[in-house]
Amino acid sequence: MIDDPSTRTSYLAWQFAQAVALRLERTLRPLDLSLAQHNALVQVALSPGISSAAVARRAGMTAQSMGTAVNGLLDRGLLERRPHPTNRRVMQLHPTESGLALVQVSQVAIEESNANLFETLSDEDEAVLAGLLRRLVQHTNPDALDLSRSHPD
């Protein structure tokens, strides 16, 4: 007997994550940003000097996938690489003025999309959901929530 997948929390979470990703990709497309690029740009703006590897950990992505996103941002002049002051093997990422300006624009677009995504929930329901998701992310990818770990150990 095959169980209905919609009875599994993980299936529902996956379906919702797919819907969110699609909606955010559509929101960012007019800004010529992928979701991975947006995530990288935001993380670098939050933690100037962060390494590409740390950005990948926060995003829960492979270093190679994040490298592709970061390279696109570098090519567009939205990020720049600088050598780490004490570790020759690490390059630090810094936002450019254009990168910071694009983050501001993208944040407005993301907020509008976010409001539409959760319009079916009350403020209280959304707060409960956010708390539950934060706990689950903390459990599965604590780097995603740890803004203090921006540099290699």
- CATH number, position 92: 1.10.10.10
C-alpha 92/C-alpha 90 separation (Å) is: 6
Beta bridge partners of 51: 92
Q: Residue 4: inside a domain, yes or no?
A: no
The answer to whether the pTM exceeds 0.95 is no
pLDDT single digits (tens) 78-108: 999 998 888 888 889 999 999 999 999 999 9
Q: Is residue 73 part of a domain?
A: yes
Note whether residue 121 is domain-resident.
yes
Q: Which domain holds residue 63?
A: 20-145
pLDDT, greater one: 153 or 88: 88
On whether residue 14 sits in a domain, the answer given is no
CB 36 within 8 Å of CB 59: yes
**Residue 153: its pLDDT value, please?**
38
Q: What is the pLDDT of residues 16-47, one digit of tens each?
A: 999 999 999 999 999 999 999 999 999 999 99
Tokens of 144: 């995603």
Q: How many Å apart are CA 147 and CA 43, to the nearest integer?
A: 8
In a domain, 15, yes or no: no
How high is the pLDDT of residue 149? Answer: 57
- Residues 6 or more apart in contact with residue 101 via CB below 8 angstroms: none
Cβ neighbours of 92 (radius 10 Å): 22
Report the number of distinct structural domains present in the chain: 1
Q: Which residue has the higher pLDDT, 145 or 17?
A: 17
- Tell me the three state secondary structure of residue 83: strand
Question: How many whole angstroms separate alpha carbon 125 and alpha carbon 119?
Answer: 11
